[in-house]
Amino acid sequence: MEVREVMLDMFEGRCLDCGGIFEIFNFPDFQYGQRILRTAGGEDIALLDCPHDTAMPEVSELIRNEYRGRPLKDSQFAKLFNKVFGVVCDPIDGKTLDASRVGASCPHCKSSNINTYEIVPRVSVAVKVPIVTHKVWEQLAENQKRSLISEKLAQARSTK
């Protein structure tokens, strides 16, 4: 697994269910071309290097082809993309990535019911983060890729 050291800000997370206090790492501000993805459970992060990611344009095209002839607003496209993109990403430590998940989860009770607080003064930390890869996706035939995205889009539509 390839990792990259990036500067992330540390935030304090507080679980509203168990009262646990823990660290959350994220970009301090908007980072052009980079995005933090979380695992489906919210416990781990990975770095998506958008300009160099080969699967992003491929998935975008498959989504647009699926919706050809039907109106699709940019905001709708973004939601659909985020819901299906994790399926084309290799797992991180055996955990599936979920591009639609924005928040962390409590490491104590796994709840997503948390508040995030900025630490003042700001604390930036060099963190080694796994890079999002698509080795399994790259081995699939075009019809398998199309079928997988179509299936995930159907699931996304049914869970609106």
Secondary structure of 17-66 as H, E, C letters: CCCCEEEEEECCCCCCCEEEEEECCCCCEEEEEHHHCCHHHHHHHHHHHH
CB-based contact 25:37 (threshold 8 Å): no
Please give the mean pLDDT across all residues of the chain.
92
So what's the pLDDT on residue 142? 96
Q: Give per-residue pLDDT as tens, 106-153.
A: 999 999 999 999 888 889 999 999 999 999 999 999 999 999 999 999
Helix (H, G, I), strand (E, B) or coil at 110: coil
Nearest by Cα to 11 from 132, 130, 129, 127: 127
Please determine, for residue 17, whether its predicted confidence score (pLDDT) is greater than 90: yes
The full set of domain ranges for the chain reads 3-158
The band of 160, judged by pLDDT with boundaries at 50, 70 and 90, is low
Share of residues in the chain with pLDDT > 70 (%): 99
